[in-house]
Amino acid sequence: MATTNPLKTITEIDPGKFLLISILIVFGTLLNAQGTWEKIAVPTDVTLNSVFFTDSLYGWIAGDSGTIMNTSDGGQTWNRQVTGTTNNIVSVFFLDRNKGWAASQNYATIPYGTIMMKTLNGGNEWTSFPYPENDIFMNCILFRDSLNGWMGGNPHALVRTTDGGITWSQAAVDTSVLAFFPVLNIHFYDEKYGYACGGRFDIAGVLWRTNDGGNLWHAIDPSEAPADEVHELHLFDSVNVMGAGGDPDFGYGVGMIRTSNGGINWTYHELNMQGYASDLDFRNEKEAWAPLGSRGKLIYSMDAGDTWTEIPTPDSTIITNMIFPDSLHGFGIGRNGAFIRYKPKITGIDDKVLNHLRSSFTLGQNSPNPFNSSTKIKFSIHGDREIRPATLQIRVFSSSGVLVKTMDTGKCIPGEYEITMDGTDLPQGIYYYFLFLSDQERLVSCAGPGKMILLR
């Protein structure tokens, strides 16, 4: 695009033209530009195991010695939360800014096992209760709504709840020789299709699949299983899935495993890079990141995982877990209180304008997602001082970039909002939505994209 700095004076641009430029820049960034990472100080030096952000501002980190900390400004400042435990907290998950769960492993006092934790106010108060079966140590936790959730753990656990975590039941797993290995992570694409991964070091990496909402899980065929654990998964759709792992002994190095037929068959590929990938997260449909833990390295792909490039972490920090709440924001955690933040590369926008775009407001993930008729989109307008009333719109685009829906919310002041989108007039498919803001002086901001899936 033949232009020099189209956003150098953002207040001079017509809102319609700005939205078009924003979309071009954002999509251009998603496809073509690999960003960098910066290290942010966190007031702890314990090993951090889990990070979760509900949006670009609100996030939680959890780790050793009963540590949970939260941020409301994208990781710039942190508050320590009272958890009532000194156990190692291995996983934290939030549905929104208020409802969250965490799992801690109790090896200190009998009976050994997992202590569950739950909050309804963003972690200001946590309540604890033991997992009902002793000597089961959960590694991951996932909730699809306030009642239905899953956990995976050691020596084998693939369990579900339908009452918000009060009771749990073991899911049925097929009789494969690899069916009952430890579970490290669980993901669902929709109400029917789900995948889990795990395994045991130097014995086998295992993947499980379900196509009936988790009533029955099928394990990978032993002939296709890698030699080491699969630590994390990315679901492109219900049948195309990618997993990350490798050999921590630096023998065979980082490995990726894929299926293109819904988990019936898997293909394992070694990257000729030392170490192993302890996590896998996609910033958008093409750009993927994985941390290599103790090697002090990250690897990234710009072609959906076909090829990978290795770079050092800031200050050779040991990073083990990552998350991208949207395409412009990413966060990673690891050893000794390590916390890093992604800095997207956006060509043609100076830092002041970019900071304004990031800080004006937040666009949340639509829910439910996928949906078949209507869905709700949350957003918030924020700032450190009162702002003038603003006109705000949510605009929805097809995967080919065609504007298909505009929702005008009218005048809004700082606060949290929610709007319902009616999708009955749209065909099944993937859509992207943006938040568009202008004040009385035509100051414009744009947030997004969010990705939504419409299923019939």
6, 348, 387 from 2: Cα distances, Å: 10, 11, 35
Question: Which residues of the chain form CATH 2.130.10.10?
Answer: 34-343
* E-strand stretches of 14-78: 36-39, 48-53, 59-63, 67-71
- Written as six digits, the tokens of 78 are 């942190």
Tokens 């009998």 correspond to: 110
| Nearest to 287, CA basis, from 32, 51, 36, 55 | 32
Indicate the pairing of strand 48-53 with strand 59-63: antiparallel
- Phi and psi, residue 256, nearest 5°: -120, 145
pLDDT at position 248:
78
- Written as six digits, the tokens of 377 are 């989109």
- Written as six digits, the tokens of 161 are 């709840």
In angstroms and rounded to an integer, the radius of gyration of the C-alpha atoms of the chain is: 22
Indicate the pairing of strand 267-270 with strand 281-282: unpaired
Contact 360, 445 (CB under 8 A): yes
Spell 105-140 as b/e; 16+ CB within 10 A means b.
bbeeeeeebbbbbbbeebbeebeeeebeeeebbbbb
pLDDT at position 202:
87
| Nearest to 225, CA basis, from 289, 288, 280, 177 | 177
- For the chain, residues with pLDDT lower than 70 are 1-33, 250-251, 345-360, 382-391, 410-412, 437-446
DSSP 3-state of 337: helix
Number of H helices, E strands in the chain: 2, 36
**What top-level class would CATH report for the domain 10-29+349-454?**
mainly beta
Residues in the chain: 456
Give dist(CA 422, CA 428) in Å, integer.
Answer: 13
Q: Is the peptide bond before 314 cis (omega within 30 degrees of 0)?
A: no
Give the global pTM: 0.74
Kindly list the strands in the beta sheet with 241-246, ordered across the sheet, starting from the edge strand earlier in the chain: 230-235, 241-246, 254-259, 267-270
CATH architecture of 34-343: 7 Propeller (2.130)
Give dist(CA 288, CA 282) in Å, integer.
Answer: 4
pLDDT at position 32:
47
67, 73, 171 from 90: Cα distances, Å: 10, 23, 21
Question: Which residues of the chain form CATH 2.60.40.4070?
Answer: 10-29+349-454
DSSP 166-230: SS-EEPEE---TTTTS-EEEEEESSSS-EEEEEEETTTEEEEEEESSTTSEEEEPPGGG--SS-E
pLDDT at position 349:
41
> 206-226 pLDDT, tens per residue?
999 999 999 999 999 999 999
Give dist(CA 185, CA 16) in Å, integer.
Answer: 43
Indicate the pairing of strand 172-173 with strand 216-219: parallel
> 290-316 pLDDT, tens per residue?
999 999 999 999 999 999 999 999 999
Give dist(CA 243, CA 279) in Å, integer.
Answer: 9
pLDDT at position 251:
66
